[in-house]
Amino acid sequence: MSEEYSVQETKSSPSWQLPAIVILALVALGGLGFAWSNSTKLDTTKQAVADQVKSLQTSIQQDEASLKDRLAADEKANTDLQGDLKVVTDKLKITQGQLKKARTEAEEKNTQTTEMVKNLDTSVHTELATKASSDDVKTVDTKVAKVSTDLDKTNSDLNMARSELGTLIARNHDEIDVLRRQGERDYVEFTIAGKNQPQKVGNVTLVLKGVNEKKNRSNIVYTLEDKSYEAKNANINTPLFFYLSGTHQPEELVINKVGKNTISGYLSVPKANSQPVTASTKSGR
């Protein structure tokens, strides 16, 4: 009897499978951990973004509310301004109307006044033509001439200074002519060139001693009735007064201009002396 042997082949697993499974398990765990970490970070990021969005929305809402308030305030201010503008416009219309009315009334009054003057002028001329005699016309002409003379004298008085005795002081040739036309005094104009050279001016002998051009002053000696008087630092347009024997009104010596060793001016002599007085001398400085 033959013996039967049962041979069983046992297949064993390769040696590398277990480490591979462990590695794969570790990798899987690592992946799970990384995924969980990223999920956590993502949730955190989402939360931060959500917070920022919420904050931004809140800020936008606040700005929108503030803008609405400003718009409302601007609309109110605009409404108030329009009301004020309407009031001012209404008042301006009233003022313009009043101004126009005043101008119209002024023009009417001016027209009436012009007509009255024309009528008066016509009436006067008519009366003069029909009633006035030649003597009346001469009288009117005389009065007009006197008024014209008085007016010229008044204008001259306004433009000229007066001395301490109340007489008018001429400052140049034109003003001397104005005073000469008044007929109250005689005027002798002079110019002295050079020092220590006596020159006869009317009834006075003048000698120039020196000049100060910067200060418009001069030193002179004037002789009348054999008596000499010295005027030092005499200012321009300032009269030197002196009386002749038996006269009541003074003569006036005025220097109008000072140059290099040169002076010019005038001597004013009264035409009439009402009361004789004792001779005396007075110098205006």
- 39 in a structural domain: yes
Name the residue with higher pLDDT: 95 or 266.
266
The predicted-structure confidence for 215-248, as pLDDT tens digits, reads as follows 999 999 999 988 999 999 999 999 999 888 888 8
This prediction has a pTM of: 0.43
Q: What pLDDT, on the 0 to 100 scale, is given for residue 149?
A: 59
Residues 85 and 179 in one domain: no
CB 206 within 8 A of CB 189: no
Residues 93 and 173 in one domain: no
The predicted-structure confidence for 187-221, as pLDDT tens digits, reads as follows 999 999 999 999 999 999 999 999 999 999 999 99
Q: How many CB atoms lie within 10 A of CB 168?
A: 19
Q: What pLDDT, on the 0 to 100 scale, is given for residue 153?
A: 56
- 9 in a structural domain: no
pLDDT band at 281 (very low <50, low <70, confident <90, very high): very low
Name the residue with higher pLDDT: 79 or 127.
79
- 68 in a structural domain: yes
The predicted-structure confidence for 68-89, as pLDDT tens digits, reads as follows 888 888 888 888 888 878 777 7
Residues 278 and 173 in one domain: yes
The predicted-structure confidence for 22-72, as pLDDT tens digits, reads as follows 888 888 888 778 778 777 877 888 888 888 888 888 888 888 888 888 888
Q: Looking at the predicted structure, is the pLDDT value of residue 107 above 90?
A: no
Structural domain containing residue 209: 169-282
pLDDT band at 280 (very low <50, low <70, confident <90, very high): very low
Q: Looking at the predicted structure, is the pLDDT value of residue 261 above 50?
A: yes
Choose one of 131, 155, 185: the last residue of a domain.
Answer: 131
- 162 in a structural domain: no
The domain tally of the chain equals: 2
Q: Looking at the predicted structure, is the pLDDT value of residue 156 above 60?
A: no
Residues 48 and 115 in one domain: yes
Residues 94 and 184 in one domain: no
Q: How far apart are CA 152 and CA 178, in angstroms?
A: 8
Residues 180 and 266 in one domain: yes
Residues 222 and 123 in one domain: no
